[in-house]
Amino acid sequence: MEYVHIPVLLNEVLEYLGPQPGQNFVDATLGGGGYSRAIINKVGKNGSVLSIDLDNDAIELARISKSKLQISNWDIAQGNFRDIDKILKHHDFPAPDGIVADLGLSSYELEHRGISFQTDQPLDMRFDQSQPLDAKYILNNYGQVRLEKIFNEYGEEKFSRQIVRKILESRIKNHELRKTGELYEIIKDALPKPVKHKADDSARRIFQALRIEVNHELSSLEEFLPKAFDLLKTGGRLVVVSFHSLEDRMVKQFFKKLEQGCVCPPEFPQCLCGETPKGKILTKKLVLASEDELAKNPRAKPAKLRVIMKI
């Protein structure tokens, strides 16, 4: 089955990375391989690209593509981008001229992993199919406090308590949640009457929260960012495309700290910490998808691109 994924903000990513012949780049979130193949075309035979993904289906299909296209300078690695330092060391990959990470989901994952409530599928949500923890286990085994915490922190859902109560009621009746459609009905049933027509919004937030918990997305991103920046050559660029406020906030704050340098309190008359700026933010304004891109790919609407250069 084809691993479908239209790379968002592709032209903008290439513009900020600026790949030149002979350079080396890392695509930290391979997906359908759109960024990787575009960068390979720019760096030529003397350059190289290392692509990383947790999803074995993405890895296998990229390897097939690499073989068919006879690309010799494309390294492909299965793993979590939080381990980017170990992966580069294992592949003896040189200090990158740029690293890109698209934190979004592929169309393939949306349609085959129980991540979307718009199709009735098993409650899975795992990017790495070899890991034991899935959404079904969380919903059927986590306690009230833990579930509420996940829905509040990762989904920012104001009706978390009511939704968790309905989930627990279902469990008391010995009804194991198995399908996305069942969860959607529970969410809809839990909402007060005046907002039941907004069930899709609450479902989107709850499904997002579960997916983040299953895949440890925020902790992985928190670990990835400093490692990726440290690995870059001087003048190298880190490009991150995020899709929800929790990710974007983390990226924004990390970039700001790198550019700021001094961490002394504002009331200090002079710097005592000795910290100097390590990076320069190249996207003072968020880069969003153009109207033309949105017309071709509506899923690009929430995409937010930020770039920092190592100095």
Q: Which residue has the tokens 């700001």?
A: 256
Under a CB-based contact definition with an 8 Å cutoff, are residues 191 and 202 in contact?
yes
Q: What angle do CA 305, 220, 86 make, to 5 degrees?
A: 105
CA angle (166 as vertex; 165, 172 as ends), nearest 5 = 90
Domains, the chain, with CATH or none: 10-108+218-310 (3.40.50.150), 120-215 (1.10.150.170)
pLDDT tens per residue, range 186-219: 999 999 999 999 999 999 999 999 999 999 999 9
CA 303 to chain centre: 11
Alpha-helix residue ranges (DSSP H) falling in 82-179: 84-90, 107-112, 135-141, 144-155, 160-172
pTM of the model as a whole: 0.92
Bridge partners of 99, per DSSP, are 26, 238
Looking up tokens 């193949």 gives 37
Angle between helices 160-172 and 180-190 (to 10 degrees): 120
**Residue 50 DSSP SS3:** strand
Residues in a beta bridge with 242: 304
pLDDT at 9 over 60: yes
Mean pLDDT of 105-123: 84
Q: Is the dihedral of CA 72, 225, 157, 177 positive or negative?
A: positive
Q: What is the DSSP-derived secondary structure letter of residue 56?
A: H
Instruction: Give the ranges where 33-81 is alpha helix by DSSP (H).
Output: 34-43, 56-69
Q: Are 79 and 52 in contact (CB under 8 A)?
A: yes
Token pair for residue 168?
A: 């627990």
pLDDT in tens, 244-260: 999 999 999 999 999 99
Q: Is 170 helix (H, G, I), strand (E, B) or coil?
A: helix
Instruction: Classify residue 20 as exposed, middle or buried by CB count within 10 Å of its CB (0-12, 13-18, 19+).
Output: exposed
Tens of pLDDT along 261-292?
888 888 888 888 888 999 999 999 999 999 99
Helix (H, G, I), strand (E, B) or coil at 49: strand
